[in-house]
Amino acid sequence: MAKYFGTDGIRKTVGTPPLTPLGMTQLGEALWAWLVEEGEPSPHIAIGWDTRASSGWIMHALSAALRAHGARIDLVGEASTPELARYTRASKAQLGIMITASHNPATDNGVKLFDGEGFKLSSEAQDRIEFLMDEAGKAVFSPGDPYRVEVVKWDAPDLSVYGIPAGALDGLHVVLDTAHGGATPRAAAILRAFGAQVTAIGDAPDGVNINDGVGATHTEALAAKVVEVGAYAGLALDGDADRAIMVDETGAEVDGDQIIALLAAAMRADDRLTGGGVVTTVMSNLGLERYLSDLGLPLTRTAVGDKHVVEAMRAGGINLGGEQSGHIVLLDHTTTGDGLLAGLHVLALAKTDGRKFSEISNVFEPVPQKLVNVRYEGESPMNMASVQEAIATAADRLGADGRVLVRASGTEPLIRIMVEAMDVGALEAAISELESVVRAAAE
């Protein structure tokens, strides 16, 4: 069981170990020690962060520990996670550090780690870094060479990295919600550079409003604005812009599964889909799996987290994958979930198609699905025999016409209960019973 790392790096409430000055100093020491073990005695490291008020001191704690040993630090500044991953690879840095808690509230923060190719570190690497964090400060300190810090200056974005032609969005009116997060400085300008007319919301970060009633996990504001201004579509990013949820001109939500289906069909038709299939997680709707099967495309499911999706994509030579939550990975153009990139490709397809967004984005009929979260303190209810028995019973009753998934969140003290079933009555009965058992176990 990982001590510090969860589904997607380290993510905690600020002030909770290791999200403390001491903890972040220990992480900096551990990262330096790990890089030395990997053969990088004078590493080059890129650090970016989102708009949370706590991101600044976390950056200083990490960079101080790394600089003390002689690491070269590039401060990328406020950025999205995919921008940081892209910069790490382009600058030939050995490590990328993104300070963010993604879609979580401003009271949380965390760290995502990328290797020199822009891919998230493996679980094995994270395990070693955890061990080194607990060893930090025990060895005799030997200062490195004088530290070097370079502040990255952002020029006009390189539009070629997005893989769509100039003018691809000419005439499309798009409402963009950047969740008051890391994509705010550049995302609207990039959409406009491809020809879109942009109405921006969620674009006034103040350090505490990231994801607050806006962004990919709160699309109500986006939907209302799209309808109000008569836009073609809306695109919502989360705090670090590694996920995208869209809405059509009526305000109806278009989730990651529908986006994957739309991209898969188009890429297959153009002979751009590699690996013979698509990768998603256990959370993706059964309707997506059936739709892809009708296209002759097998669906590979992984554990939750775009890191696991990318690992399976690379292993299978597959260039399209993602999550229902909006992490979309187009491996020909990126190394991680990239909400802006996914949105650009979907909008470019829509522009070529010419129909209303509602007519092209409802790709398949989802199997009825319901998700309930149960918060707990102390020991995870997943360890209780009563919970495991309830899961087995529900799965047995639904049989081949449904699916049950109960798991502990990797980012919050939550048990996530998901049930799918063709029979809505059976779905409601199963999820009600599971929620009741899990809540009892959590008390």
Catalytic residue positions?
102
The CA-atom distances, in angstroms, between 285 and each of 157, 244, 370, 418, 423 are 35, 17, 10, 10, 15
| Residue whose token pair is 């899961």 | 391
C-alpha 85 chain-centroid distance: 12
At residue 188, φ and ψ (nearest 5 deg) are: -65, -40
From residue 413, alpha-carbon distances to 12, 258, 264, 273 in Å are 10, 28, 34, 37
Strand partners, 67: none
Phi, psi of 341, rounded to the nearest 5 degrees: -60, -45
253 in Cβ contact with 215 (< 8 Å) = no
Give whole-number Cα distances, 140 to 135, 137, 143, 275, 382, in Å.
12, 8, 10, 50, 42
Residue 137 C-beta-side C-alpha neighbours within 13 Å = 8
